[in-house]
Every structure is written in structure tokens, then in C-alpha cells.
């Protein structure tokens, strides 16, 4: 088990955002976190990467508690967070944005190491290779999302947290992004992905958790969740 959360609660001031969340992610899995806007998906990912501090419960990564580990050190442990809104650095080039992902690891890499790492990532994103020296601001929304995911991969993460990668993208780009996420499993990357697009996310996930008002209300394989009329009608707002 790479990630284990037990009875985690978190909030903002007096507002409770997570209540008693228990979940796990095994190595090599793609796990989906679905639920309506405001259900707590982003807060859950932030509690793992260290941007939100839980008020109760425990989070363990590779068997060790994260309680005393601050956010930058969590990156070094292998937790990469691709936040909602693909916040790439517009004035930097595509190459510089990618390389920042590797620097987040906390140790310097040689130019040769960096080139090899970048080449491996660019194999997944040929469209970025063609635009390597352009500024990130010149990329389309879908390309910026690819860049954000690519930057996450540059950290060689043991766990990649993806927050709403399909948000605001045109349907054809949404398909492309989901194809990329699906392919990550073949690369051996372990993924926890939060999405409002429940149907597509559960279709590519090994397992999924449904969040409602900060609590896990259902957990099963992606396929079983999608096959349950109650789940689909009650929580997913689809079908
Ligand atoms: P979204 O898709 O909109 O990001 P979500 O499922 O990711 O939704 P969260 O963003 O985790 O949900 O929000 C969970 C709850 O916490 C919501 O009630 C939200 O209003 C509240 N919340 C989120 N961020 C903050 C913040 N910075 N300050 C106060 N309340 C917040």
C-alpha cells in the first residue's frame, strides 16, 4: 500500500471539508475520487500533498506517517500534486516548466539526467516537444494541462495526484487527457485522480471513491460503481 488515510478530517476555519475519510491506494493503481463540486476532492488531495493540515486522523505514505512532513519534503518523498487550474508559469518556456518539476525533488540533477528525464516525459507528449522553447502562455488549455501533468511526472513520483485535469477543456481534449491518464498505468505510475467527470474517470480507474459532503459514501471498482444505478443516479449526476 503506497497511501493509507484513516478517519481524516480537515476544514477551513469553522467549515468542515473532510469527515472521517478512510481510503487507500496500492502501488500501480489508478484510483478515482469523484463527487459533486464542493464534495471535498481538492481538500483531500491537498491533505496528502501537505497544503491542508488534517484536524484528525492519520495519513501514511509508503508505511510512514506524514504528520510531521511538510509539503516540500513530501515532494521529495515522491508525492507530486498537479493542482486544479493547471498553473503553469506562462512567462517560462515549456522546457523550463518541465524542469521545475525535477527541481522540486529537492536535489540537483546533472544536465544529462535532466535531459533523459525530460526526453522520457516528452515521449508521452509529442505536442510539447514541438513547442519546447515556446512560452507556456502560448499553449492552448489542453496543452497547458499536458504540461502540468508532464511537470508532475518530471518529479518521478511514486504517487501522482491529479486535480480535475479535464476542467474547462473542449470535449476532444478531454478525451486526449483521459487517454494520457489511462496510459500512465502502463508506465507504472500510481495515480489518484479527482474529477467531476465521473463517468470517464471511473471508466479508466481500477477503483473509485465517491465523496459527498466531505465523506466517502461509496467505494468499489470503477466498473462496479458505474454499473450501480443507485450510485449513478444519487451521487454521480450522470446517466
Ligand atoms: P471543486 O471541484 O469545486 O474543487 P471539491 O470537491 O474539490 O470541489 P473542495 O474544493 O475540497 O471540494 O471544497 C470542499 C469544501 O471546502 C467546500 O464546502 C468548499 O466551499 C470549502 N473550501 C474549499 N477551499 C476553501 C478555502 N480555501 N476556504 C474556505 N472554504 C473552502
For residue 11, give the ligand 1 atom closest to its CA: 16
Of the candidates 206, 147, 153, which has an alpha carbon nearest to the alpha carbon of residue 182?
206
Name residues of the chain where pLDDT drops below 70: 104-107, 237-239
Q: How far is the CA of 38 from the centre of ligand 1 (A)?
A: 5
Q: Which of 10, 11, 13, 15 to mutate to test the pocket of ligand 1 (most atoms within 8 A of CB)?
A: 15
**What is the per-residue pLDDT for 209?**
97
Q: Which pairs count as long-range contacts for 70-75, CB under 8 Å and 24+ apart, including other chains? A: 72/104, 72/106, 73/106, 74/48, 74/49, 74/50, 75/49, 75/104, 75/105, 75/106, 75/155
Q: Which three cell numbers stand for residue 137?
A: 502562455
Residue ranges lining ligand 1, Cβ < 6 Å: 12, 15, 17, 35, 37-43, 84, 164, 196
Phi, psi of 203 (to 5 degrees): -65, -30
ipTM score assigned to the predicted complex:
0.93
Instruction: Name the pTM for this structure.
Output: 0.94
**What is the per-residue pLDDT for 238?**
52
Tens of pLDDT, residue by residue over 5-44, are: 999 999 999 899 999 999 999 999 999 999 988 999 999 9
Q: How far is the CA of 109 from the centre of ligand 1 (A)?
A: 36
Q: How far from the centroid of its chain's Cα atoms is residue 211's Cα?
A: 16
**What is the per-residue pLDDT for 185?**
86
**Where do runs of H (alpha helix) occur along the chain?**
41-49, 71-77, 94-103, 111-124, 126-129, 141-153, 171-186, 198-204, 222-227, 229-231
Contact 150, 125 (CB under 8 A): yes
**What is the per-residue pLDDT for 86?**
74
**What is the per-residue pLDDT for 239?**
41
Amino acid at each position: 500500500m503506497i497511501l493509507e488515510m484513516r478517519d481524516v478530517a480537515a476544514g477551513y476555519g469553522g467549515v468542515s471539508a473532510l469527515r472521517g475519510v478512510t481510503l487507500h491506494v496500492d502501488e500501480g493503481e489508478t484510483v478515482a475520487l469523484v463527487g459533486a463540486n464542493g464534495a471535498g476532492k481538492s481538500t483531500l488531495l491537498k491533505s496528502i500533498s501537505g497544503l491542508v493540515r488534517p484536524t484528525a486522523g492519520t495519513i501514511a505514505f509508503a508505511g510512514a506517517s506524514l504528520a510531521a512532513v511538510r509539503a516540500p519534503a513530501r515532494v521529495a518523498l515522491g508525492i507530486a500534486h498537479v493542482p486544479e487550474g493547471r498553473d503553469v508559469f506562462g512567462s517560462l518556456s515549456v522546457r523550463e516548466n518541465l524542469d521545475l518539476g525535477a527541481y522540486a525533488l529537492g536535489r540537483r540533477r546533472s544536465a544529462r539526467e535532466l535531459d533523459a528525464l525530460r526526453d522520457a516525459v516528452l515521449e508521452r507528449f509529442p505536442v510539447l516537444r514541438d513547442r519546447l522553447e515556446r512560452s507556456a502562455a502560448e499553449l492552448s488549455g489542453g496543452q497547458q494541462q499536458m504540461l502540468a501533468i508532464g511537470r508532475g511526472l518530471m518529479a518521478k513520483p511514486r504517487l501522482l495526484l491529479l486535480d480535475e485535469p479535464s476542467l474547462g477543456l473542449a470535449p476532444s481534449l478531454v478525451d486526449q487527457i483521459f487517454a494520457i491518464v489511462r496510459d500512465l498505468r502502463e508506465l507504472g505510475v500510481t495515480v489518484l485522480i479527482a474529477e467531476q467527470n465521473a463517468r470517464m474517470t471511473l471508466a479508466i480507474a481500477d477503483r473509485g471513491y465517491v465523496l459527498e459532503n466531505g465523506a466517502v459514501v461509496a467505494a468499489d471498482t470503477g466498473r462496479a460503481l458505474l454499473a450501480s444505478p443507485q450510485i449513478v443516479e444519487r451521487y454521480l449526476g450522470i446517466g
